[in-house]
Amino acid sequence: MKPTYAVACCVLIIFSWGCAGLKETKHQPPLPLQIPGADPATIIENLTRINRELISFKGLGKIKIWRSHGHQSTRIAWAGSHSQKLRVEILGVTGRPLSALAFDGSRFYLSLHTEKRFYQKQTRHASLERLISIPISISDTIAIMAGRLPLWEDSSGSLTVNPSHPDTYLLTIRKGWFRKQTAKIYLREDMHTVYQFELYGSRNQLQYRVTYLKQGQYDQFRLPALLQISDDQHNRVQISAERIWPNAEMAAETFILKPPR
């Protein structure tokens, strides 16, 4: 596997109407603006409470990446902290790291062990776009890996029935008025379990989509055991967890990389 590929691994209403012969056409209104007994603000508040006590996490598993020219798979290890810190390592067959990336909250690091190349940059808005071709920020990645959602503070939304699956719901949240962003949260019948999350940019273009394919229970925390991050450009990343250690103790140095020797 080429090192550049290894680095790349780290890290829906159709408005319908109908008529039959000379029968009267019935205009179908948009699916409900209000759902009895459902308060979007309450749902958002409940979502922000998910895994609130999770401070840090470590995981071990596999990652697959699909691009227009093919796909590949490798083993991966990761560690994250609620203080916006992340480390991802691509592992070889022997378990030794081939490459790594890290973010300590203010500086982004990238290390290619096999090529003995090292890169670091001062930034507070690190993204994985150059690595996986999907514009997902490291901050959002940390929240997703921790079983939470990258929600905005003091956000409000609207709740409708999901037109594609009437037994589920769609919670839409918007932020800003000029460079507006929109988040779409797809909920199960209980209005609490999230099975998909989408983030759209100011021109309503999809930035990324997260699909929770399988959840697992780790201590008192429910975390993604199998998730997929994708876009509309045929880029797709799937992460499967073999083991997860919630609230694992980690030193601050865990999220700082040094040049390979």
Q: Count up the domains in the chain and report the number.
A: 1
Side chain identity at residue 211, one-letter code? T
pLDDT tens profile 161-192: 998 888 899 999 988 766 678 999 999 998 88
> Which residues touch 88 (CB under 8 Å, ≥6 apart)?
10, 11, 76, 77, 78, 100, 101, 102
DSSP 84-110: TEEEEEEE-TTS-EEEEEEE-SSEEEE
Q: Which of the two residues, 68 and 195, has the higher pLDDT score?
A: 195
pLDDT of residue 37: 59
How many angstroms separate the CA atoms of 85 and 65, rounded? 23
The SS3 call for residue 124 is coil
How many angstroms separate the CA atoms of 95 and 29, rounded? 57
* 29 is a domain residue: no
Contact 145, 138 (CB under 8 A): no
How many angstroms separate the CA atoms of 177 and 197, rounded? 21
* 25 is a domain residue: no
How many angstroms separate the CA atoms of 4 and 142, rounded? 23
Kindly report whether the global pTM for this prediction surpasses the value 0.85: no
Two structure tokens written together for 261 = 């020797």
pLDDT tens profile 92-147: 888 888 899 999 999 999 998 888 899 999 998 899 887 788 999 999 999 999 99
Domain that holds residue 135: 3-9+39-255
* 24 is a domain residue: no
Residue 195: count other Cβ atoms within 10 Å of its Cβ.
Answer: 15
Q: What mean pLDDT is reported for the chain? A: 84
* 131 is a domain residue: yes
Residues facing 62 on adjacent strands: 75, 240
pLDDT over 80 at 261, yes or no: no
pLDDT tens profile 52-94: 999 999 999 999 988 777 788 999 999 999 989 999 999 988 8
How many angstroms separate the CA atoms of 59 and 53, rounded? 17
* 26 is a domain residue: no
Dihedral of the CA atoms 115, 121, 126, 129 (nearest 10)? -40
* 33 is a domain residue: no
Dihedral of the CA atoms 104, 210, 14, 192 (nearest 10)? -100
Q: What mean pLDDT do residues 143-160 have?
A: 89
Q: Which of the two residues, 36 and 112, has the higher pLDDT score?
A: 112
> Which residues touch 102 (CB under 8 Å, ≥6 apart)?
85, 86, 87, 88, 108, 109, 254, 255, 256, 257
Residue 85: count other Cβ atoms within 10 Å of its Cβ.
Answer: 21
pLDDT of residue 26: 42
* 155 is a domain residue: yes
CATH number of the domain encompassing residue 96: 2.50.20.10
Q: What mean pLDDT do residues 19-26 have?
A: 36
116 CB-contact burial (10 Å; exposed 0-12 / middle 13-18 / buried 19+) = exposed
- The CA–CA distances, whole Å, from 163 to 15, 74, 169, 196, 221 equal 9, 37, 8, 14, 31
* 224 is a domain residue: yes
